[in-house]
Amino acid sequence: MSADLLSLIDKSFREFREGSIVLGRILEIQPQIVLVDIGYKSEGAIPVSEFEDEEFAVGDEIEVLLERLENDEGMIVLSKEKAAHKQNWDKIAKVFHDGGLVKGKVKAVVKGGLMVNVGVEAFLPGSQIDIIPPKDLTEYVGNIYDFKIVKLNDERKNVVLSRREVIEAERSLERQKFLEEVTVGDTVEGMVKNLTDFGAFVDLKGMDGLLHITDMSWGRINHPSEMLTIAQMVTVQILEVDKDKERVSLGLKQLTPNPWEDIEAKFPVGGHVKGRITKLVPYGAFVEVAEGVEGLIHVSELSWTKRITRPSDVLEMGQELEAVVLGINTEEQKISLGVRQLEPNPWDEVETRYPIGSTIKGDVRNLTPYGAFIELEDGIDGMVHVSDLSWTRKINHPSETLKKGDALEAVVLEIDKENQRISLGVKQLETDPWEEIGAKFNVGDLVKGTVAKIATFGAFVQLEGDVDGLVHISQLSEEHVTKVKDVINIGDEVEARVIKVDKAERRIGLSIKAASYSEDELKKETAAFEALRPSSDLVGLEQAFQVAEEWRPGEEGEAEGGEQGSES
């Protein structure tokens, strides 16, 4: 039997069904089409574009999809692409149901992700491309990767892929292997994955380890970005491993010698060091004296004499300076430094320069309610207490006799080196007039003076020799006086009788109403005055002196509704 007859018999028994995949042979290759014989009564024409990226020749056998047995021109309709798609779809569906992986090539960037050819067109969402969402999707185009099929729609022929799940699965295996093999003290290499304020996360073959900021450097760093960058490869040491929680702590500084070892030998107390200011804080300045070693200059150690409120007023970041080592705490890794110790302490020999009892000269630098500060030299002041301004006058505020910038002479009364205080006195320049007060003022004397102050309880009169006497309100007039200002004012010239002299308490009592009294009347008034008690309606002179001692500027203003405040 001839070969042609056998071929005819084979064709007659062959069953051709539309939608099936059949084997064909290339008969002819034309510019636009390829003619293929599948053993049917007519040949099929397949576009050349379906053979893209493939080498083919006449006589090659190929699998094609039989779409139609006859078109309008009487030819069968074949498709090589659709045959491959149908075959690939079946493979994809099997992989999906088996939970396996499929290899594919990234074809293009599309909205929301990438288009991938895995035998059929599939979509890779942007969130499933990698563990860290990529910034530039074009870098993936043309690359071949393994993917997991996460969604498959047979009716719509849609396929959704994930590369991220593949990577995570691989990392999980690597992480388990890493945790099983690694031990504390091992040195490993990893890539910086992320930076935070408290440290850096390092990728160690699928395992994320934390490199805390305190384990990056022996010195001070404010942020991990000062030492590391994302994607940087870094060699670190394993400090701690928690297999249950899958946590690993890393160290970078541990790979270098600890600069704090033998620190006391390197920087002995009392020795001089040079360094650079790395940080300024309200309480001091941090100075790097060696790589990884910082010391603190407390604000109180900047100057012997100047009161420095903020270190930034006298120091700058990055400034090079010299300091003295004051103390070392190796356990807490702290070094105390001082700058003022580079110069002699001016207070050490202050007694030599300003002996007690000596007279000094200086300018009034500042006034306070309790005294005046006198500048003796740059950074050293002495203070004259308000009680040491005058032997005789009742001075409530130093501004009554002094003002800033005044040149003043005073006597050194006391020196307290520990608290850096020098007490001065102005009144001590003169003899205490109260020692001879009896020679000037006696009970019964008629005196003249000027009203210097007014209080609720009476008036202070400045007498000869800068001595103040007190006229109690009860001694202003024969008539009852409600307010001192009703009968007398500051600056008035008055004549009064001395009715009491108390040398021990340094007090002189005056009486204006007794100025015209006879000797007998004066004796009666004095006796009556001495007999007064606190329960009496009139305040006695002794009580008046007591009140006068407690009186301060502004108090009579409170007592009389502010009426006297501006005058006193």
At residue 14, the pLDDT reads 55
Nearest Cα neighbor of 238 from 267, 268, 202 is 202
**Interacting residues of 96 by C-beta distance below 8 A, sequence separation 6+:** 149, 152
What is the domain class of 182-255 according to CATH?
Answer: mainly beta
User: Which ranges constitute the DSSP H helices of 397-477?
Assistant: 437-440
* Domain 16-83, CATH: 2.40.50.140
Nearest Cα neighbor of 208 from 247, 182, 241, 173 is 247
**Interacting residues of 311 by C-beta distance below 8 A, sequence separation 6+:** 280, 281, 282, 283, 284, 285, 297, 299, 302
Q: Return the CATH number of 440-559, one of 3.40.50.300, 3.40.190.10, 3.40.50.12500, 2.40.50.140.
A: 2.40.50.140
* Domain 99-167, CATH: 2.40.50.140
Q: Would you kindly state where each structural domain of the chain is located, as residue ranges?
A: 16-83, 99-167, 182-255, 263-342, 350-429, 440-559
At residue 529, the pLDDT reads 60
At residue 528, the pLDDT reads 66
Kindly tell me the burial class for residue 181, based on how many C-beta atoms sit within 10 Å of its own C-beta (0-12, 13-18, 19 or more).
Answer: exposed
Question: What does the pLDDT look like over 235-293, one tens digit per residue?
Answer: 999 999 888 888 889 999 888 888 888 888 888 999 999 999 998 999 999 998 888 88
Nearest Cα neighbor of 365 from 414, 416, 403 is 403
| Token pair in block for residue 216 | 């990056």
**Interacting residues of 564 by C-beta distance below 8 A, sequence separation 6+:** 454, 455, 456, 484, 485, 556, 557
Question: What does the pLDDT look like over 450-498, one tens digit per residue?
Answer: 888 888 889 898 888 778 889 998 888 888 888 888 888 888 898 898 8
For residues 130 and 163, give the distance between their C-alpha atoms in angstroms, rounded to a whole number: 6
At residue 212, the pLDDT reads 93
At residue 530, the pLDDT reads 64
For residues 453 and 374, give the distance between their C-alpha atoms in angstroms, rounded to a whole number: 27
**Interacting residues of 60 by C-beta distance below 8 A, sequence separation 6+:** 25, 26
Positions in the chain short of pLDDT 50: 1-13, 533-568
CATH fold for domain 263-342: OB fold (Dihydrolipoamide Acetyltransferase, E2P) (2.40.50)
**CA torsion, points 216, 220, 221, 224, in degrees to nearest 10?**
20
Nearest Cα neighbor of 386 from 509, 503, 552 is 552
For residues 316 and 309, give the distance between their C-alpha atoms in angstroms, rounded to a whole number: 15
For residues 444 and 425, give the distance between their C-alpha atoms in angstroms, rounded to a whole number: 33
At residue 38, the pLDDT reads 84
At residue 286, the pLDDT reads 92
Radius of gyration of the chain (CA): 53
For residues 478 and 538, give the distance between their C-alpha atoms in angstroms, rounded to a whole number: 13
For residues 394 and 452, give the distance between their C-alpha atoms in angstroms, rounded to a whole number: 10
The reply to whether domains 263-342 and 440-559 share a CATH topology is yes
For residues 166 and 49, give the distance between their C-alpha atoms in angstroms, rounded to a whole number: 34
What is the domain class of 350-429 according to CATH?
Answer: mainly beta
